[in-house]
Amino acid sequence: MGKATGFLEYTRTENAEIAPEVRTGNFNEFHEYASEETRMCQAARCMDCGVPFCQSAMKLKGMVTGCPLHNLIPEWNDAVFKGHDNHAFRRLIKTNPFPEFTGRVCPALCEKACINGQYGDPVTIRDNELYIIETAYRKGTMTPIIPEVRSGKKVAVIGSGPSGLACAFKLNRRGHSVTVYERDDRIGGLLMYGIPNMKLDKSVIERRRKVLEEEGIVFKTGCDVGRDISFEEIRKESDAVVMCCGAKKARPLGAAGMDGVKGIYYAVDFLSQVTKSLLSGKIDKKITSQVEGKHVIVVGGGDTGNDCIGTVIRMGAKSVTAIEMMPCPPVERRADNPWPEWPKTLRTDYGHTEAMWKFGSDPRVYETTVKEVISDKGKIKAVRTVNVGFEQGALKEKAGTEKEMPCDLLLIAAGFIGAEDYLTDSVGVERTQRGTVKTAGEEEYASSVPGVFSAGDMHRGQSLVVWAIHEGLGCAAEVDRFLMGYSNL
């Protein structure tokens, strides 16, 4: 490793965040990049372990710790410490085609497995990764690589989220001709319309699109396969088809009194409206009027729920409450959850921090669910909540705990229950009980229809961006074997 005593000499220093009172006034990314010297010191903390769990993606007690892409983390940390930015970049993109995405939105499974985190603070792996790719763009090292030889094979990829982009990227590099179909007006899937600008500025996606197009990938946006164009038409023009359409069927709340009531949105639909409005140049007053000065309740404690909190604060919400069914996790690891297992501890994200600054308290309410929506003239005005707990594996209401809370806007971020029906039904692929496309195994991507494959959330179920990329790359290798009889991917 670059510096044998680096982990002893330097303390963990993350990229600084702009103060909540400043950053909540806009939708700009709120992290400030550290200096090159700071980044070199942070990279020097990497111990180059004999067994680097950071790049292992081990499954322990049903949860994964370490990077699913098996990034060569000790190698590029060493290169950053030595000032070899180009070498660090080459080692990074060998395993991760889109570090500018994961460096911004990944929850850093790698850091949870860093051995420095066993007794202290892990290496700033995600910040180091982002430094490497942004330095490559700034210095002009990140350039298109155009295949010298084409195979003559055509592949259609339906969906341009992280799995679709990763699959298209790899197949194009192999020499196949790839066309990506996207029903929205811009590529990116949930990267574009499910993750807010302050977390991932959309110029980052457009910058990558330009590189991918120069490498030979064709994007057809505003083209909804199964509606605007038939699947059969695409199938006839292609040697293989890959479906990467996500698991966008939202989980319903199931509370009484919801039917026909205005002021209730699924979280991703709401976030999409806000992003589309921002991309048009200025946020629409029709959208802000639903939030400004209003009481907002968010149901769901995941990343999407947190993104909703940050978004409505920027739009002037009078209050925001986040309701979660699960109990509050411990602040510190429990004895039965040792390193390098995924830490089942309380995570306070940017939206929670901003709510604490804005309203003076943590917005999260645990072991609670919405039992009933109360409306007035067809518009939501309050919700009735109830405390819940698990008894013998079943969720039970706790008697005498009902409470009424004012609510002008209810955002449902309770997760997803599988792929949307219209495309899978038209293709005729088998599906699992979870609503995903059925394949022979977890790491296999061929559907029940010959020549049709699936990857990402549509195959795996709702998951992380880094897992979607992993799936896209794995699917590309399987498609390549189908087309060529072998694969070197």
- Hey, what CATH topology would domain 154-248+417-484 get? FAD/NAD(P)-binding domain (3.50.50)
The predicted structure's pLDDT at residue 392: 85
Q: Does 394 or 206 have the greater pLDDT score? A: 206
Distances (CA, A) of 130 to 102, 127, 166, 372, 426: 8, 5, 18, 44, 40
Q: What is the pLDDT of residues 377-422, one digit of tens each?
A: 999 999 999 999 998 888 899 999 999 999 999 999 999 999 999 9
Please state the length of the chain. Answer: 489
CATH class (in words) of the domain with range 6-139:
mainly alpha
Condensed to tens digits (0 to 9), the pLDDT of residues 3-48 reads 889 999 999 999 999 999 999 999 999 999 999 999 999 999 999 8
Same CATH fold, 264-412 and 154-248+417-484?
Answer: yes
Going by the DSSP 8-state scheme, the letter that residue 411 receives in this structure is: E
Tally DSSP H helices, then E strands, for the chain: 19, 18
pLDDT, tens digit, 9 for 90 and up, residues 159-196: 999 999 999 999 999 999 999 999 999 999 999 999 99
Of the candidates 312, 285, 284, 289, which has an alpha carbon nearest to the alpha carbon of residue 411? Answer: 312
CATH topology for 264-412 is: FAD/NAD(P)-binding domain (3.50.50)
217 falls in which pLDDT band (50, 70, 90)? very high
- Cα dihedral sign for 429, 434, 436, 437? negative
Residue 321 to residue 324: CA distance in whole angstroms: 10
Angle at 199 between CA 90 and CA 7, to 5 degrees: 55
Average of per-residue pLDDT across 70-74: 97
- The sign of the torsion formed by the CA atoms of 19, 24, 28, 29 equals positive
pLDDT at 133 over 80: yes
| Whether pLDDT at 2 is above 80 | no
How many whole angstroms separate alpha carbon 236 and alpha carbon 214?
26
pLDDT above 70 as % of the chain: 100
Domain residue limits, the chain = 6-139, 154-248+417-484, 264-412
- For residue 344, give both structure tokens: 């089942």
Q: Which pLDDT tens digit goes with each residue over 287-317?
A: 899 999 999 999 998 999 999 999 999 999 9
Strand, helix or coil for residue 62: coil
- Rounded Cα distance between 347 and 307, Å, is 14
Mean predicted confidence (pLDDT) in 86-100: 98
What's the gap between Cα 136 and its chain centre?
23
Would you say residue 1 has pLDDT above 70? no
Indicate the pTM of the whole model: 0.96
In angstroms, the CA 294 to CA 287 distance is 12
**For 256-289, what is each residue's pLDDT tens digit?**
999 999 999 999 999 999 999 999 987 888 889 9
Percent of the chain residues topping a pLDDT of 90: 94
- Enter the tokens of residue 90: 């080459």
Mean pLDDT, the chain, integer? 96
pLDDT digits (tens, 9 = 90+) for 323-335: 999 999 999 999 9
